[in-house]
Every structure is written in structure tokens, then in C-alpha cells.
Structure 1
Amino acid sequence: MNRRYCSLPRQSAPAFAPGLAAERLGALAAGRRMWVNGTVLHYCFLDADTDASVIPVPGTGRTRRVPWAGAEEQRDVLRECFREWQDLGIGVTFTEVTDRSEAELRIGFQQGDGSWSVIGRDALSVGLGERTMNLGWDLTEHDGRWTALHEIGHALGMRHEHQSPFAGVHWDDEAVYADLAGPPNHWSRDRTDRDILHRLDAAEANGSVWDPQSVMQFSFGPGLILEPEQYHNGLYPSGSLSPSDKEFALRWYPPAAAPAALVPFRSAPLGLGPGEQGDFAVEPPETRVYSVGTFGESDCVVVVFEERDGEPRYLAGHDDGGTPHNARIRVRLVRGRRYVVRVRLHSTWGSGETAAMCW
């Protein structure tokens, strides 16, 4: 069986200040790509005439346009897979939109460009004219549904499971290079290192135990894995969401709770543990520019949403992780409208209390 693999875009390492404690660095690595819970992730399919890649035609000196548009049956598979993740009861929801300027996730179907997604809220740094996800082969064929579930897992912040440091996998490196260099993947040794052989930091892994049945786990043919010995003849996950996949999603994105009131000029103690979140509603008494932020020796991400037709829309955000400063946003709030402030704690690194405030 020809196995086509997800090929992640190259990712830059975060530039944290030197001298941070290992526990603090671990918390930052675990949470820096995760969405705040309660986020509505809007996705759109790119299909305009201008949505295409321009690639060279070998040996001719010419180029050709390769469109990003996908047929409706391809889109339907992805819609079904968004619903499957949603039906777990997670606090993040997915909504399809047609305006790319409203979409955090912009999806293309360029054939020959592989299947990939940026990880979690790294999508916010991708330009509006660019894709955050690509499905590079027919999703109605074998493993197409696995591909769609897998890429949505990346969009939620999940990493490749076979790269978990808890897997204890001993590879036959040269056999892996040779297998991936051939069809249908045609990968370089560098890409194989990045997406197969490189081990993640423990804080970046999806969980503290390896899950060979995860939807984020690749299947591998015989002779690529030397140990554990039981997988020497191949590893073939089911291609569906495993119990550990569901646990990961619900751990980071539990069903959203009703927000507490955040009254201007009145601090609200957070009392959170690492990875936990506080949610607050703000109804400004006057229209003006407000500051929204945290106090205390902690690493937090703060996001302000404006409710429009009952749905929270991203307005502004700030992650202070790894700096000596607190997260702070200056944003114009309008009297008569309702806003939601979500604060996810990465870690605390001092003895004082962490609090949120709007002023």
C-alpha cells in the first residue's frame, strides 16, 4: 500500500528569554499554540480565480498556475470531519464562512503540494492571502478521511504522535529515508527528519503516554521500526479518533462555562493551574479605549472577543509567555455591546496572586 504522509510547514522555534526555569519553559511549549477555549474557529475554502500557486515547469523556463480550489465532494469530507471533532463536545466550535477575512483557517486543495496544516494558533500569523491548511490528494479515496481528521488535529494544536518522546521507537533510519524518498511522498532526508525521526520535547507531545492508535500517528510498513519489536512488521492505526485523541481535545477544550462579570477597575482573581482558563464578560459603561490585561508573576495569553449576533468574534490578543511583563491589550469597547475576555494560564513563576482587570 502506498502511504501518503502529512508534511508540516517548517516551523520556527520560539525565542524565549535565556535563563527561564525548565518548568516554566515546559508550560510555555505545551500551551503556546493552543487556542483559548471558547474560540469559534471560522474556516473558508479558497476557490477564487486568484487562489493558486505559480510553480516552474521543469526544463522549460516557464511557470504554470496550480489552483487551490477543491470539488464539493472534497469539501464535504472535511465538513464531516470538522463535525466529528465538534461532536466530542469540545469548547472550540467550527463555523464555515465565505469571507476569508473572517476565517482563522483558510483551506486549499492544491494537488501535488501534500497535505498539511499549521499548528493551532500559529494560523493567526499566516497572511490572509495564504492557506493555513492544504489537502493535497483525493479525500474520497482510501485514507482520505484519516487525512482530514489528522489535519484538523493539527489545527487544534496536536503534533505527530510517532514523534512523541514517550513512544520509545527505535527506527531503522536508512530504511525510513529510502522508503520516504520513493513514491508517493518523494521526501528529502531533511523532511523525513522533521516529520518522522525527530523527537518532540516532552512538553510538546499530545500526552504523557504514546498512543499508537492516535489519528495523529502515521502508519508504517514492515522493516521501518526496529523496536518495539511488535511493530517490526508494521504499525497500522485505525485512522479514526482514539480515546486519547478525544481526551486531549477535551482536556484543552472542555465544554465552555458561562463567563463571570469583569467590572471595569475591579480586579478578578484567577486562581488557575497551568493550562487552565478564566472567562469573563465585559459590558462597558462608556465607549472608549480600554486596557485589558493581567497582574501577577505569571505567563498568560489574553484574548478579547466581541459578541456579534450571539457569536464571539476575535478582536485582539496578547501572549506574554516567557517575558517579565504581563499580557495587556488596548482595545476600543463600545457601550451597549458585550465582550468576552478569556485568560489561559501557561504558568506562574512567583508567589503572588494572578488577576485579570479591565480599566
Structure 2
Amino acid sequence: MTARYCSLAQQPAPAFAPGLAAERIGALVRGHRMWVNNTVLHYCFFTDHTDGSVIPVPGTGETRRVPWAGTKEQQDVVRECFDEWQDLGIGLTFTEVTDRSEAELRIGFQPGGGSWSLVGRDALRAGLHERTMNFGWDLTAPGERATVLHEIGHALGMTHEHQNPGAGIHWDDEAVYEELAGPPNFWSRDRTYVNILRKLDRDEVNGAVWDPQSIMEYPFPPGLILEPEQYRAGLHPPGTLSTADQEFARRWYPPAGTGDPPALVPFRSAALRLAPGGQADFTVEPPETREYRVGVFGAADTVVVVFEERDGEPRYLTAHDDGGTPANATVRARLVKGRRYFVRVRLYSAWGSGETAVMCW
């Protein structure tokens, strides 16, 4: 019997201007969904039974409206899995909130709606009253903790491991389509292709080497995989965070250092000596209340995010991603004297000569 699988909707590929170098495009594809490090990701649960949506009833041609609210027992499994990722010592922090307007991640428990998550920063494009993650079956059942760890992996920016082109998987395509068309998934051919058969770009995957033990790997019954030969009898990942999963999370979100980042003083530039994927953090304590600009200078693709410190933690204020454009990332924000702000700059790639720098003015 086929397992119930995470079902991601296909997202449009990022569009880049013609003529960009392959190395530059690769860096943009690898990083465009990743959060800047030292972000506090706030999550909330839909609890109001007026929040819901209409879903099809498999095999009937009918639809029904199903709420998104879940039980405390289901919520507790999700809380525990956020803690498990957090306990790796990564540079992201997960904080539960009750006000959805404060949450980057909004979680529903719609039975029959499938389990899925938006990937990384794609969550920021969802509307305030929309889910960024859903769990479509009972998470308290044996083995379902793996479903939650998997969906949180997507929220961190991870992709499906079996779609890694380095896996070398040769599928029996029609057997896969037939298996997924039936219970418990009832997938269309398009959904099966998007989530299983489609090979990802090498720059999209979690690592160059396929990790069949990854939490992002589906289990598969016998008869779907033709090659590698050892998986003809099925593929059965353990449902836990593998060593490679942990390395991926720590590589993109290394533990925060001790002490405050250096100050970014208005009208004084700070050099950015970053490797691709690197990040520089600064604090800003404005000498007066007014509108400021924070921007990067130089031939580089970057994302700049400004946070305001509230109740001892950084809260997202504004951001700009200049990836793939000739312009530099620049944000405008009203900064208040007596408050503290954090500026985080992540470099995709430096594509020209000369140094890059950031300034607040």
C-alpha cells in the first residue's frame, strides 16, 4: 500500500534577465528561497472553525467544505518537531504566536487536503488568511512525526530528495502514475509528475549527492523503481533527520555568534567581504527619527532585510532582493531614535570587479 505523500503545488521557475552567466544563475536558484540567517520564524495554528476551504471528495465528483483547525494533540506534534529542528543549533529560531498577522508560517490541519508546505521564503507570498503549511491526516498515528519533520524541511527551503538528478533513479513511469492515482493519494498525472518524476535542476537540490536516508525522501513500495537495482524492492527511509539533512540546515543557517553584530553607522559604508551564500549582520541605532535608506553598492546580487528589535527579538520590517538585476538592493524604512534595528545582507554572487559594501543614510 502506497504511503500518503507530501503534495507540493508546482511553482513558476524564477525568471532572470537574458545573458546572465551560468554561475550567477546557479547562485540565484540555490539561494532565492532561503531565509536570511538569524531570522525568527513565527508560526501560528488556525484554530477558528470559520477558517476552511472546499476540497473534492475522491471518486465522487463532489466537494465539501472542511475547516483548517486541528486538535491540541496534533499541534503538539508540530511543536515538538519545530523543537527538533531547533535543537540542531541552527541560526533560525521558531516562535509560536497566536496572531496570524505576526506569523510567517500559518499552519492548518485540513483532513483530505493533503500534507504540504510552501518552500522557504515562498511563504511570504501567501495572503494573511492563507495557509503556508497543511497536514491532511492524523499526525498522532505511528510514523507520522516524519511527515511534520518533512514539511518543516520544506519551510526551511529544502526540496524532495528523490527528485535529485544525482539519485540516478529510473522509474517505471506508468506504474508510478497508476499507484498514485489510487488510494490514499488520488493524484492526477500532473501532480505525480511534479512531486515524483520531474527531475530538479542541480542548483535546486539539497546536496550534490543523493541521500536516500533524508527526511525529504519519500518511501516507495516495490515495483516503482527500476534502477538502482537495490531499490526495486522498495525504498524505506527511516523518517528521521539524516546527517546530510542536519548538515544542510547548519550550512545555510549556522549558529549565531556571541555578542552583538557591528554597528552600521549612518553615512559610513561597511565593506562586504562575503563568499557566495555568505551573510553579514549589523545593528543600527538611529541618531534621530526619520526615513532612512539601507543599500548595497557594487556588482553583486544580494538580499537586504531590516528587522526591528521588539520584546527582545528581531521582527521583520522590510526587505529588498536585487537578485539577477543590474540594480542594487536598497530599502527605505522609518527608523525611530531609541530603538534598535538589525540589517542582514546575504550575498548570492559577486559578478563584477571591485568591492561591495553596505551603507545606511
CA distance in 2, matches of 1:354, 1:181: 52
Structure 1 residue identity aligned to 2:285: E
Of residues 49-58 and 299-308 in structure 1, the stretch that sits farther from structure 2 once superposed is: 49-58
1:163-205 alpha-carbon deviations (Å, 9 max, x no partner): 0011111111111111111110111111111000101111110
**In structure 1, how many angstroms separate the alpha carbons of the residues matched to 2:161 and 2:58?**
36
TM-score w.r.t. length of structure 1:
0.97
In the other structure, the counterpart of 1:36 is: 36
Q: In the TM superposition, what is the alpha-carbon distance from 1:9 to its structure 2 partner?
A: 2.0
Unaligned runs of 5+ in 2: none
**2:68 paired with 1:76:** no
In 2, distance between residues paired with 1:154 and 1:53? 22
Instruction: Assess if the C-alpha contact under 8 Å between 2:320 and 2:331 holds in 1.
Output: yes
1:113-124 aligned at under 5 Å gives the runs 113-124=113-124
Distance in 1 of aligned mates of 2:227 and 2:62: 47
- 1:269 match: 271
- 1:45 maps to amino acid: F
Indicate the RMSD between aligned Cα atoms, in angstroms.
Answer: 1.5
Match of 1:189 in 2: 189
Match of 1:22 in 2: 22
Distance in 2 between residues matched to 1:9 and 1:76, nearest whole Å: 26
Alpha-carbon shift at residue 143 of structure 1 (Å)? 2.8
Q: 1: CA distance between counterparts of 2:355 and 2:267?
A: 17
**2:322 matched residue in structure 1:** 320
- Confirm or deny: 8 A CA contact 2:302 2:346 kept in the other structure: yes
CA distance in 1, matches of 2:38, 2:326: 27
Which residue is 2:125 aligned to? 125
Q: Could you tell me how far 1:55 is from its partner in structure 2?
A: 4.3
The 8 Å contact of residues 55 and 113 in structure 2, kept in 1 or not, is answered as no
CA distance in structure 1 between the aligned counterparts of 2:63 and 2:223, rounded to whole angstroms: 40
* Whole-Å separation in 2 of the counterparts to 1:103 and 1:186: 31
In 1, distance between residues paired with 2:74 and 2:140?
Answer: 7
Show the 5 A alignment for 1:184-223.
Answer: 184-223=184-223
Tell me what 2:358 maps to: 356
* Identity among equivalent pairs (%): 74
Matched, 1:338 2:333: no
**Closer/same/farther in 2, CA of residues 180 and 55 from structure 1, 3 Å limit:** closer
CA contact (8 A) 2:296 2:359 kept: yes
Give unpaired runs (5+ residues) of structure 1.
none
Tell me whether 1:246 sits opposite 2:246 in the alignment: yes
Deviation (angstroms), 1:59: 11
Does the C-alpha gap of structure 1 residues 182 and 339 become closer, same or farther in structure 2, counting only changes over 3 Å? same
Q: What is the rounded CA distance, in whole Å, between the counterparts of 1:151 and 1:115 in structure 2?
A: 8
- Cα distance between partner residues in 1 of 2:63 and 2:114: 19
The whole-number CA distance in structure 1 between the counterparts of 2:49 and 2:278 is 43
Q: Secondary structure at the match of 1:230?
A: helix
Shift of residue 2, structure 1, vs aligned partner = 3.6
The alignment's TM-score, normalised by the length of structure 2, stands at 0.97
Distance, in Å, in 1 between the alignment partners of 2:327 and 2:231 is 48
**Kindly tell me: are residues 244 and 60 of structure 1, through their superposed partners in 2, closer, same or farther at Cα, counting changes over 3 Å?**
closer
Render the CA deviation track for 1:59-97: whole Å, top value 9, x for unaligned: 999864210000000000000000000000000010000
Offset at residue 57 of structure 1 (A): 7.2
Q: What SS is found at the alignment partner of 1:202?
A: coil
Report if aligned partners of 2:269, 2:357 keep a CA contact under 8 Å in 1.
Answer: yes
Report the secondary structure of 2:167's partner residue: coil
2:85 maps to 1:88: no
SS of alignment partner, residue 166 of structure 1? helix
Partner of 2:234: 234
Aligned partners of 1:41 and 1:240: how far apart in 2? 22
Deviations 1:300-350 (A, max 9, x none): 000000000110000001100000000000000000000000000000100
Is contact 2:2–2:179 with CA below 8 Å preserved after alignment?
A: no
The residue identity in structure 2 corresponding to 1:184 is P
